[in-house]
Chains A and B, each alone.
Chain A
Amino acid sequence: MNFTQPVRFVAKNMRVDLALIAGMVAPNSRVLDIGCGDGTLIDHLFRTKQCDARGIEIDMAEVTRAVTHGLPVMQGDADSDLANYPDAAFDYVILSRTLQAVEKPREVLRQMLRISTFAIVSFPNFGHWSLRLQLLFGGKMPMTRAWHRMWYETPNIHPCTIRDFFALCEADGYKVEQWLAADEDGKKAPWRKFASLANFFGEQGLFLLRKV
């Protein structure tokens, strides 16, 4: 890994999120996957749900890999390029494990819900108990499967917790249509009814939003 290059995702294990995210997308819809990596998810959405799915990816090597597999992916940056799209161009815009790595998460969310009816956002939860314990007893920045880069080289410049995210949605007027917490292997955590428990036990949060 070349640390001088911008890396916009961490533990980019698309397989983990894939089934959960795909479960939120209606068939035959228009989808934009931001930070789509090699396009695994858009391929999945095209093949299983006949979606018109496209992708943006910042890493040119990943873009090339995706296009080589016949997937409509362009090199672009979530922070700057969403502004190019017209209003309501998509039914779903997906931001999988990328929100914590963008320059302006709030603006990116705003753009997502401008160009799309729904936004699907997943992020590693900084409120997970193991991070809390490491910080409490070790006194150092936590290192886990999801947060595995040293503070001075991590691309994850905007970590947040599940509760933080709920608060932002409320502040900016986004309705949480669905949400769930999951562990790193994509298993749904069983604390669906209690956000504070999910925030403690869930390694990642996954949200389906729309404008109120």
Chain B
Amino acid sequence: MVLQSREEPCGIEGIAWRGAAAHMRKTMDQGPNFSETPHQSVSFDDGLTLDCGRHLNRLTVAYRTYGTLNAARSNAILICHALTGDQYVAETQPVTGKPGWWGAVVGPGRPVDTERYFVICANVLGGCMGSTGPRSPHDERPGEPWGVDFPPVTIADMVRAQKRLVDHLGIEKLFAVIGGSMGGMQALAWAALYPEQVFAAVPVAAAAYHSAQNIAFHEIGRQAIAADPSFHGGRYWAEGVTPARGLAVARMTAHITYVSEAALTRKFGRKLQGASDLLIGDRFEVESYLEHQGSSFVRRFDANSYLTITRAMDLFDLAADHDGSLAAAFTGTRTRFLLVSFSSDWLFPTAQSRAIAKALNHVAANVSFVEIMSDKGHDAFLLDEPDFHRTLSGFLAGCAEHAGLGS
């Protein structure tokens, strides 16, 4: 979901990805070549006990930071990434060589200004960019990865892992937790789990639970992965292959849910690729684009991680953890909230953000709520949306004033 920002410009120009897609059609069945890129990380030898009851003996959290922590350690902002994102929020991603996924939002002079704030972003628990996940060594059989034996994790587990990192960095209270989509779920979970440690929370294009429709789309992706002959029951690593075809189909399906019908029509309509060749090999541009989305994804993502993280999203239901009352999750909160939705987002529609706002009203929380007009669908949170960026920037500036952060 996160890569869209990097690939969108290619899609619009319609040039760069065509060649790449053709190339990847040849190579994707040969399996992606995961580079063993080193990631900055911290490990905790006492591990982490998960919501499922299992205990991970060792917890590693891979992360990146930007900017400088002030003397009072009061200017830290945690960015939470989405389903397929990573910790490389505002710099070149070392595996893909592409720019950071939220460069428009995080950086010097950006809404999350790294000249003013100390920005942290961690790879989620269950991920595949250096944090503990299905590719990490198995607790009992260190010679092999966890694979499908990796315990199920929850959004709250991800947040607890991030909390360990934040503690490790010596930060008692985060100035803000900001995230879009699954990152927004984490921002909500942060505010619910550690209300005293979060001055401001910004869930963007998020929801307090994963809807039946969202779970259904995830299940298609998981079924596609499981149906790939190279999946080998999740032990593909033992066979030296990866279920690249299944993972690519999962990504293609998911990608459709990230964009709006209007955006697809605007970019591709019914245009054919290679119009000179009308008989054989004729393809709609949208097909080629989707295939590119799928094939470039498998180069950087692990199938078992995809299964683990999609499940964590499906399991998310903040109200269910509080006897069915979303408001109860925030009782007594002093956190300042900004909820942002996008008008054409049908995956995490505005109604979901509004429901969170109402729950926060029930506990008289300090909440700002804005729906940004955009035709770009769920992915809008990653793209150039000046109204969103101005809103976020203004909200943070207002919070900084209330928090006593100098400008």
Contacts and interface: CB of A to CB of B under 8 A. Distances in A.
Contacts of B367: 54, 72, 74
B364 interface: yes
A14 B252 CA distance: 50
Contacts of A67: 338, 368, 370, 391, 394-395
Question: How large, as a class, is the contact surface on chain B?
Answer: 20 to 34
A39 to B, nearest CB: 10
Contacts of A90: 364
A198 interface: no
Given A68-B390, A85-B361, A86-B363, A63 B395 contact: no
A71 B367 CA distance: 10
B24 interface: no
Contacts of B372: 64
A73 interface: yes
Given A81-B361, A84-B362, A85-B364, A71 B369 contact: no
Most buried by A among B368, B370, B371, B397: B368
A60 B370 contact: yes
Interface in B344-379: 354, 357-358, 361-364, 366-373
A68 B369 contact: no
Contacts of B393: 68
Contact of B398 (A63, A64, A71, A89): A71
B399 interface: yes
Interface in A21-70: 52, 54, 60, 63-64, 66-70
Contact of A70 (B362, B364, B387, B395): B395
Given A67-B370, A70-B395, A85 B362 contact: yes
Contacts of B395: 67-68, 70
A68 B362 contact: no
Contacts of B397: 70
A74 B360 CA distance: 11
Contacts of A60: 370-371, 373
A60 B350 CA distance: 12
B135 interface: no
A54 B363 CA distance: 14
A85 B362 CA distance: 5
Interface residues of A, number: 22
Contacts of A86: 362-364
B269 to A, nearest CB: 29
Contacts of B366: 52, 54, 72
Interface in B328-347: 336, 338-339
A1 to B, nearest CB: 18
A52 B334 CA distance: 12
B3 to A, nearest CB: 28
B287 interface: no
Contacts of A71: 368, 398
B282 interface: no
A154 interface: no
Contacts of A66: 368
A54 B337 CA distance: 12
B370 A64 contact: yes
A76 B357 CA distance: 10
A75 interface: yes
B111 to A, nearest CB: 11
B369 A63 contact: yes
A66 B369 CA distance: 11
A68 B394 CA distance: 4
A60 B390 CA distance: 14
Contact of B394 (A54, A69, A85, A89): A69
A123 B401 CA distance: 33
A70 B361 contact: no
Contacts of B369: 63, 74-76
Contacts of A76: 357, 369
A64 B401 CA distance: 19
Q: Give me the 5 closest cross-chain CB pairs, A-B, nearest first.
A: A70-B398, A74-B369, A68-B394, A89-B364, A84-B361
11 contacts: A54-B366, A63-B368, A63-B370, A64-B387, A64-B390, A64-B391, A67-B338, A67-B395, A70-B399, A72-B366, A75-B369
Interface of A: 52, 54, 60, 63-64, 66-76, 81, 84-86, 89-90
Given A73-B368, A74-B357, A84-B361, 6 more contacts: A64-B387, A69-B394, A70-B398, A74-B367, A76-B369, A81-B361
